[in-house]
């Protein structure tokens, strides 16, 4: 059985440009995927928004996306730019596992 990443041909790595706005919000632009842009108020919210944006871009059905067995996370600390500077952040896909007490 194929996992979600294989089934929808999702990339292993995303190149993301993160721009900090004057009001403190964050805009993420995925240049390799035309029109794939998202906005968040904090870095943690940005990770969630970015995952939603890429799954929407690849037309992954919401029901399958909610039960996904992976998530994209920054490979290292996010680099924020105030202008549209060509600084890219690498987000990689990682399997997630839950342990229940």
Kindly state whether residue 56 falls inside one of the protein's structural domains.
Answer: yes
* pTM of structure: 0.75
Residue 70 sits in a domain whose CATH number is 3.30.160
Residue 21's pLDDT is 85
Structural domain total, the chain: 1
Residue 97's pLDDT is 44
Report which of 49, 1, 6 is spatially closest to residue 27, judged by C-alpha positions. Answer: 49
Kindly state whether residue 101 falls inside one of the protein's structural domains.
Answer: no
Q: What is the DSSP letter of 78?
A: P
Q: Tens-digit pLDDT profile for the chain (101 aa)? A: 578 888 999 998 898 888 888 888 889 999 899 999 999 998 889 989 999 999 999 999 988 887 877 788 887 766 665 654 445 677 766 554 434 44
Bridge partners (DSSP) listed for residue 28: 18, 38
Write out the residue range of the structural domain in which residue 60 sits.
4-89
Kindly state whether residue 98 falls inside one of the protein's structural domains.
Answer: no
Kindly state whether residue 97 falls inside one of the protein's structural domains.
Answer: no
């Amino acid at each position: 059985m194929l996992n979600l990443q294989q089934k929808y041909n999702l990339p292993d790595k995303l190149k993301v440009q993160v721009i900090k706005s004057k009001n403190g919000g964050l805009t993420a632009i995925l240049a390799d995927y035309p029109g794939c842009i998202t906005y968040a108020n904090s870095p943690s919210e940005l990770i969630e928004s970015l995952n939603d944006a890429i799954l929407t871009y690849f037309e992954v059905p919401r029901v399958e996306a909610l039960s996904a067995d992976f998530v994209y996370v920054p490979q290292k600390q996010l680099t924020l730019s105030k202008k549209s500077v060509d600084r890219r952040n690498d987000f990689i896909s990682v399997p997630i596992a839950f342990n229940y007490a």
